[in-house]
Amino acid sequence: MNGFGIIDLPTYLLGTLVVVLLPGPNSLFVLGTAAAHGVGAGYRAACGVFLGDAVLMVLAAGGVASLLKAYPAAFIVFKYVGAAYLAWIGVSMLRSVFKGRTASPEDPARPAPAAATTAAPFRRALVISLLNPKAILFFMAFFIQFVDPAYAHSVLAFTILGLIAQAMSFVYLSALIFGGARLAGAFRRRQRLSAGLTGGAGALFLGFGAKLATASLN
């Protein structure tokens, strides 16, 4: 037992680090946004991720995980809506690549292949974070296991664990943002590279949607 009602903090730190570093829709969207629009847009997307994760933390601490387990139909509806949204983002990115290839290279109205990641980065990142299967399973199944249910101030324990997760996420997303911003120049010079990476990202979002559709809280 560790202090502040937290159970086995070293295991939580290791597990959180692994989960943060695993590729997922949050990190992919932040990287793509930074690569397309620079550091500022990347951090706006990151703020959407932070807020979405904070909402999931509060829901987990409030017992929503138990509620979803008690009512499987509610979780089924939720995960399929989320899967559809992630799949829609993937299809949008693939469509932007297709439009970019079919438009004339001299056409000033030719859409940029990364256009699907540009609009309202904060809002889109927030929705992606709330529907992110990795984050849902982490906060609803892993996160809550490290708080002693007998501890009188469980809110404090959840807050500490949440701040740790957010700090790790901030460091990782910052690295992606600055790395993505450095890629922006290469994207502008090489349309095929940009289209290829955007198409790959779109395919990954379709995969994330499929993963969420098969996700389980058990």
User: Could you report the per-residue pLDDT of 71-118, keeping only the tens digit for each?
Assistant: 667 667 766 776 676 676 667 667 766 665 544 434 433 334 443 444
Predicted pLDDT at 67: 63
Check the CA dihedral 133-135-140-146 and report its sign: positive
Any domain includes 121: yes
Please answer whether residues 185 and 59 qualify as being in contact, where contact means their C-beta atoms are separated by less than 8 angstroms.
no
Any domain includes 15: yes
pTM metric for this prediction: 0.66
Any domain includes 81: yes
Predicted pLDDT at 187: 54
Predicted pLDDT at 117: 43
Any domain includes 142: yes
Q: Which of 217, 137, 163 is nearest to 6 (CA)?
A: 163
Q: In this structure, what token pair is assigned to residue 205?
A: 């979002």
Return the half-sphere exposure (C-beta side, CA atoms, 13 A cut-off) of residue 142.
21
How far apart are alpha carbons 164 and 84 in whole angstroms?
31
Any domain includes 56: yes
Predicted pLDDT at 214: 67
How far apart are alpha carbons 156 and 167 in whole angstroms?
16
| Domain encompassing residue 190 | 8-213
Please answer whether residues 214 and 87 qualify as being in contact, where contact means their C-beta atoms are separated by less than 8 angstroms.
no
Q: Which of 158, 164, 161, 204 is nearest to 27 (CA)?
A: 204
Burial class of residue 92, CB neighbours in 10 A (0-12, 13-18, 19+)? middle
Ranges in the chain, pLDDT < 70: 1-2, 64-72, 74-75, 78-79, 82-83, 85-86, 88-90, 92-93, 96-119, 133-134, 183-202, 204-205, 208-209, 211-218
Q: In this structure, what token pair is assigned to residue 160?
A: 């500490």
Any domain includes 2: no
Any domain includes 3: no
74 φψ region: left (φ > 0), alpha (ψ -120 to 50), beta (else)? alpha
Any domain includes 155: yes
Number of domains in the chain: 1
Q: In this structure, what token pair is assigned to residue 151?
A: 């501890």
Q: Which of 150, 133, 143, 138 is nearest to 28 (CA)?
A: 133
Predicted pLDDT at 33: 86
Please answer whether residues 46 and 193 qualify as being in contact, where contact means their C-beta atoms are separated by less than 8 angstroms.
no
Would you say how long the chain is, in residues?
218
